[in-house]
Structure 1
């Protein structure tokens, strides 16, 4: 009886990487819901952007895309909460600073290799002033909202589900990393119009790095914060370039 109780105790504390039953409903059905909801979000966002001009169209388009992603995340966490995935450790902040800045530097090197001048980017101005709601469209949205939603979707829901379906282990981790990175790059290519090779390579590096952080630590927040720092560094460069200009 004692050994049986000990076995149950050990099983109950396993993380999602170790086969915890808390992630048992993050499965192929959830991936199907994710594909459907994100596809509807992408299509709706594209239609709104085409039908509604200007800033209003851009905002509504972004909201449609975020809604499609948010629905998946809500469904996933209603089905289960993989043990360990949402834990936060202070070292996650260190990962974010180191990898976020390194990835932004790599993106800059690839950009220059593709023909960029290497000069600071800057915000476009309208009659000498920044566009309306620039602080949201170019600040809050890419630095706060997008990283949280994207990481929970690609390196939370998708990565964990594929890892479980593939029966864990090195093979499962490899397949989950490839699948989540491919989906991450593909959705950005469709929604952001990524066309240059350096943008594709940079996004691939971001996807691989964030995916590896989740697989190696079992936690999502290192990936989320790395994405935040990566996007935030770009906003900071824009701000500096605008001031210098």
Structure 2
């Protein structure tokens, strides 16, 4: 016998038979996915965080720079500030006592190295803990900041010096021996003030002290107060440190204070250290250039 058919006469589907499934469109698929997602969201506990496509929470976005906090300055606190100041004070004491034990140019050189170590050790210690996010990043515009701001600060220093003297002042000059610069000039009067001192000082005063003071004050009082306190304190310590070379006139105090303020603000605004380093280098290098010219022309 022929197999029974569910079709009614004439090819129409029999009563009660399920209709044949037609092709599924892309719109139907999207609607189905949306319906399932809505059902999952409705069944989730109240207050639950939304899940990502992978079914897990998204990672929190890391701060873009150290000024916003984050893990890279998490360990930069009062203990680091204390150790930095202790090391700096030890360097000052050693540099003050060494010339009385080792006289002459050798003693002066060793005293300078002791002071550098007093600043370099806490820098190494701090950056061994962590590197503040973005602080060591370099941008070509940092070079422009250094040349322009360093030159402007040197011009301002010259104007302050003339104001203190009550008139024009001659070029600075170096002591000479039989009309010639000393054999140690290239290091003591050129390399040290132009390269070594600016790098070490900026990394200590602005790379460590300013960052750690800003970080601890920001946690308690906010970013604006932290910026003000960090710039004022580090500038004061920076100016006081330069009194180790002898008494300063008011023009020197103002000049060093401006260098400290400009470098501190530059680090806070750019969140990078190299602009401040280059400003300091240009500021010192212009004095070396003027003193060298004054020596050769005298």
TM-score band by shorter chain is over 0.9
Tell me the residue number matched to 1:132. 183
Within 2, Cα distance between the matches of 1:184 and 1:36?
15
Find the counterpart in structure 1 of residue 87 from structure 2: 37
Unaligned stretches of 5+ in structure 2? Answer: 1-50
Select which of 274, 277, 294 maps to 1:224: 277
Q: Deviations over 1:84-109 (max 9, x none)?
A: 00000000000000000000000000
Residue 89 of structure 1 corresponds to which residue in structure 2?
A: 139
> In 2, Cα distance between the equivalents of 1:107 and 1:20?
39
Unaligned runs of 5+ in 1: none
TM-score by length of 2: 0.78
Aligned to 2:118: 68
- Structure with more contact order per residue of length (Cα contacts < 8 Å, sep ≥ 6): 1
User: Does 1:176 find its partner at 2:252?
Assistant: no
1:143 and 2:194 correspond: yes
Residues matched between the structures, number: 241
Q: Which residue of 2 aligns with 1:214?
A: 267
Offset, 1:119: 1.6
Matches within 5 A, 1:191-202: 191-202=244-255
Cα shift at 1:117: 3.6
Structure having the higher helix fraction is 1
Query: Scaled by the length of structure 1, what TM-score is found?
Result: 0.95
The Cα offsets for residues 116-175 of structure 1, whole Å up to 9 and x where unpaired, read as: 642211111122221231110010000000000000011110111111111241111111
**Alignment-derived partner of residue 155 in structure 1:** 206
For the aligned residue pairs, the C-alpha RMSD in angstroms reads: 1.3
Shift of 1:224: 0.2
Superposed structure 1 runs of 4+ greater than 2 Å apart: 1-4
- 8 A contact 1:163–1:176 mirrored in 2: yes
Choose 1 or 2 for highest CA Rg: 2
Aligned to 2:25: none
Q: 2:37 — aligned with what?
A: none
Query: Does the residue aligned with 2:177 lie in a helix, a strand or coil?
Result: coil
- The alignment partner of 2:108 has SS state of helix
Contact 1:194 1:200 in 2 (8 A): no
CA distance in 2 between counterparts of 1:146 and 1:4 reads 48
CA 1:126 to 1:224, structure 2 compared with 1: closer, same or farther past 3 Å? same
Match of 2:296 in 1: 243
Distance between the aligned counterparts of 1:119 and 1:128, measured in 2?
18
- Matched residues in 1 for 2:131 and 2:195: separation? 22
